[in-house]
Chain A
Amino acid sequence: MKVDLRINGASRSADIEPRKTLLDALRENFLLNGAHAGCEHGVCGACTVLIDGEPVRSCLMFAVQADGYEITTIEGVAPAPGELSVIQDAFCETHGLQCGYCTPGMILAAHALLQHTITPTREDIVEAISGNICRCTGYGQIIEAVQFAADRLRKANTPRPHHGADQPVEAE
């Protein structure tokens, strides 16, 4: 079946068998290998992608069902080639990954959470990543990474204080 998808802001088309999951189509047809194949039956969360901004398991939907949505994979979150998003960088800073298998899913789950709120509680973070299994970190550093990313995003959104009352703010 011919399938037209919107992936990371670009229109992509392919001839895809109905039984092919969105996960396999992303990896094999569009060479986006950032979504990982873990359990392939909806338990582990390694295949998480964003559909219209919300995390879903790409192994639990077929590519033929995915037309008309904005699909975001881990390849779509960096601001430019060779750069990292704030959340990706926070995972590096806090050692929020070891083997890295779960990391794209974790980052996308965190991405969706921090789109909703940049002041998440620890409970919010735990809930947001509750569908993603990590077998290395014990989750502590992942939670720390999301907290750190939220902190940076909050600071980025806070107006900078003036350096002295009558000094003009320099244009950036």
Chain B
Amino acid sequence: MKPAPFDYVRPDTLAEACALLAGDEDARLIAGGQTLVPMLAMRLARPARLIDILRLPELAGIRQEKDAVVVGATTRQAHAERDPVIRASVPMLARVLPWVGHPPTRNRGTVGGSIANADPSAEIPLAAVTLGAEIMLATPDGPTSMPADDFFIGPMLTTIGLGECVRAIRFPVWPQPRIGVGFFEISARRSDFAFVAAAAQVALDEEGRCLDVALGVGGVGDRPVRLDVASLVGTELDAASIVEAVNASSNDIEAMSDLHASAAYRRRVAVTLCVRALEEARANASAKPAKGAR
């Protein structure tokens, strides 16, 4: 249970880190290390060199923009969980973070690390896909970005290329004043990998009608997916409409079987959790005052 030998470097700039990474196929980035270090300890990963990006100033910080919150890649999960900007403007992220690992792993684990790791059952990628976040990358040719939905392509697989690094995640902020989120997950034990996770966000108008809705599931297929429940816009999110919309969209869910749960079980649980997440999101939004500032 001891890692194989490696070189350790801690570059001062992001450009330097990308150049080091691009020039060495056997190099890996390390930030919080909460997934990579166990892989090293079990020798499932044996990089020749670790490039430590945790303290790079370019990757730090949470920035509020007009219609988005940009979360730096090396933001600690525990920090994001408590951050007032995230709690107010990206409530779904704040809602799912307590389900990521345990307090000690959240104290080291980063938001960008979870995105780059692309575990199909991970909560942060689920929130990113559901909300339509942009994954901002640093590449040897300069900064670029892509929608989260295009970034994740399979289990632990992303479109990230050689010499590229997740810079930040840009979460859209909904403009409506009455927003609510819902989240449910099923796992063997609290904080274990989710067999199924469902996240929902809704915006209501003053009369309680749905103005906008986003729904996503994770853990079911080989990557998190957003489901199309646009038919709910304009409804009052009554139970019958929710069930109908979820059932209609559930054909888009590709479920996988493994040791823990069959595809049929995952699909059935996904539908149930989607309904519950939407109901919780509606209740959460209804509790907000119909008028006044957020």
- Please list the residues of chain A having a beta carbon within 8 angstroms of any beta carbon in chain B: 1, 17-19, 21, 24, 39-42, 45, 48, 51, 54-57, 59-62, 64-65, 109, 127-128, 130-131
Q: Are A55 and B107 in contact (CB under 8 A)?
A: yes
Measured between beta carbons, the chain A residues less than 8 angstroms from B37 are 21, 41-42, 59-62
Closest residue of chain B to A37, judged by CB? B1
Please state if B190 and A54 are interface contacts (CB–CB under 8 Å).
no
Question: When the two chains form their complex, are residues A41 and B104 in contact, meaning their CB atoms are under 8 A apart?
Answer: no
Cβ contacts B1-27/A at 8 Å (1 or 0 each): 111111110000000000000000000
> In whole angstroms, how far apart are the Cα atoms of A48 and B108 in the complex?
12
**Which B residues touch A60, using CB under 8 A?**
33-34, 37-38, 105, 108
Distance, CA A61 to CA B1, complexed state (A) = 14
Docked CA distance A51–B107 (Å): 9
Bound complex: CA of A60 vs CA of B37, how far in Å?
6
Q: Does B102 contact A (CB under 8 A)?
A: yes
State whether B5 touches A17 (Cβ < 8 A): yes
Known: A19-B3, A19-B6. A42 touches B103 (CB 8 A): no
Residue from B33, B38, B50, B103 in contact with A18 in the complex, judged by beta carbons closer than 8 Å: B50
Q: Which 5 A-B pairs have the closest CB atoms?
A: A131-B102, A18-B8, A41-B38, A40-B1, A54-B107
**8 A-B contacts (beta carbon < 8 Å):** A1-B8, A19-B4, A40-B2, A41-B38, A55-B107, A57-B34, A60-B105, A127-B98
Residue B52 is within 8 A (CB to CB) of chain A in the complex: yes
Cα(A135)–Cα(B121), bound, Å: 28
- How far, in angstroms, from A128 to B104 measured CA to CA in the complex? 9
How many residues belonging to B are interface residues under a CB distance threshold of 8 Å? Answer: 30
* Count of CB-CB pairs between chains A and B under 8 Å: 84
The reply to whether A131 and B52 contact each other, CB–CB distance below 8 Å, is no
> Which listed residue, B5, B33, B101, touches A61 by the CB 8 Å rule?
B33
- Least distance between A110 CB and chain B CB atoms (Å): 12
B88: Cβ under 8 A from any A Cβ: no
Is B78's CB within 8 Å of the partner chain A?
yes
B33 and A55 contacting across the interface, CB-CB below 8 Å: no
Known: A51-B107, A55-B104. 14 other contacts (CB 8 A): A18-B6, A18-B50, A19-B5, A21-B3, A39-B1, A60-B38, A61-B33, A62-B33, A64-B8, A65-B54, A109-B104, A127-B103, A128-B103, A130-B102
Q: Which residues of B contact A (CB under 8 A)?
A: 1-8, 30, 33-34, 37-38, 40-42, 50, 52, 54, 78, 98, 101-105, 107-108, 190-191
Residues from chain B with Cβ under 8 Å of A1 in the complex: 8
**Which residues of chain A have C-beta atoms less than 8 A from B2's C-beta?**
19, 24, 40
Q: How far does the alpha carbon of A40 sit from the alpha carbon of B104 in the complex, in Å?
A: 14
Minimum distance in angstroms from B98 CB to a CB of chain A: 8
Task: Give the distance in Å from the alpha carbon of A55 to the alpha carbon of B105 in the complex.
Answer: 8
Counting chain A CB atoms within 10 Å of each CB, which of B42, B50, B54 scores highest? B50
Assess the B107–A42 pair: CB atoms within 8 A: no
- The answer on a CB contact under 8 Å between B108 and A61 is yes
Contact A42 B105 (CB under 8 A): yes
Which of chain A's residues has its CB closest to B191's CB?
A130
* Chain B: CB-nearest residue to A113: B103
Q: How far is the CB of A19 from chain B (nearest CB, A)?
A: 5
**Chain A residue at minimal CB-CB distance from B189:** A130
Q: How far is the CB of B29 from chain A (nearest CB, A)?
A: 13
A56 B4 Cβ-Cβ under 8 A: no
- Compute how far the CA of A1 lies from the CA of B1 in the bound complex, rounded to whole angstroms: 21
Complex CA gap A51/B38 in Å reads 19
Write the chain B residue with the least CB distance to A49.
B104
The interface residues of chain B lying within 8 Å CB-to-CB of A55 are 103-104, 107
Cα-based distance from A41 to B36 in the complex (angstroms): 10
- Residues of A close to B98: CB separation below 8 A: 127
A131 to B191, CA, bound (A): 9
Cα(A94)–Cα(B102), bound, Å? 25
Q: Which residues of A contact B7 (CB under 8 A)?
A: 18
